[in-house]
Amino acid sequence: MQNPKVICIHIGARAHYLIPKSLEQKGILRTLITDTWVGSGWLRKLLSLIPVTSIKSLAGRYSSSIPSARVYSFGSSFLLFEFFLRLKYVYSWKSTILRDQKFETEALKRVKEIPDPQVILGISYTSLKCFEYVKSKGIKTVLYQMDPGIEEEELVADLINKYSVETTWQRAPQSYWDQWKRECE
């Protein structure tokens, strides 16, 4: 397959969209599917003025290197969800898994609407449903593993135990890692 058109499933602004920007620069980005894209300059400006750092950072959910016409985001529903999580400082495995599942469901809907996809590149922890769907159609998949995965969790747990550290850190539920292993396959 020469110069395939790649659909990039990309939750968040990981490395400020380095992968989709690179694909666009090579001329092979077909679509970027992401949770929140703040294409409007006035909204980015407004977000950047909000004194809450976690809200202000949403202004970075954009890159001038990627034409907004290639981007499909989930609009205000995800933006409101992000606001809620950030304002309440809610972080738990339950909320993370809920967000990932919601993202995957919406991404799958969009992937199904794209005629003749050639390659799907997904970010770890949010690509399983899309991968299962496109693999059943013989379409190639590429997984970008964004962190050390379960190995990192084991290292952190060992350090906490070794040094008897008081922390609110928690291991991910086993179901999280089970899904990740299926995604890696």
- Helix and strand tally (H, E) in the chain? 8, 5
Give a three-class secondary structure readout of 64-119. Answer: CCCCHHHEEECHHHHHHHHHHHHHHCCCCHHHHHHHHHHHHHHHHHHHHHCCCCCE
- Between these two residues, 93 and 173, which has the higher pLDDT value? 173
CA pair distance 154, 28, nearest whole angstrom: 37
For residue 90, the model assigns a pLDDT of 61
How much is the pLDDT for 50? Answer: 85
Quote the pTM value.
0.89
Task: Judge contact between 31 and 10, C-beta under 8 A.
Answer: no
Find all residues with CB under 8 Å of 63, minimum gap 6, and list them.
Answer: 16, 17, 20, 21
The confidence band for 20, taking pLDDT boundaries of 50, 70 and 90, is very high
Q: Residue 87: which pLDDT band, with cuts at 50, 70 and 90?
A: low
Question: Tens of pLDDT along 106-147?
Answer: 999 999 999 888 999 999 999 999 999 999 999 999 999 989
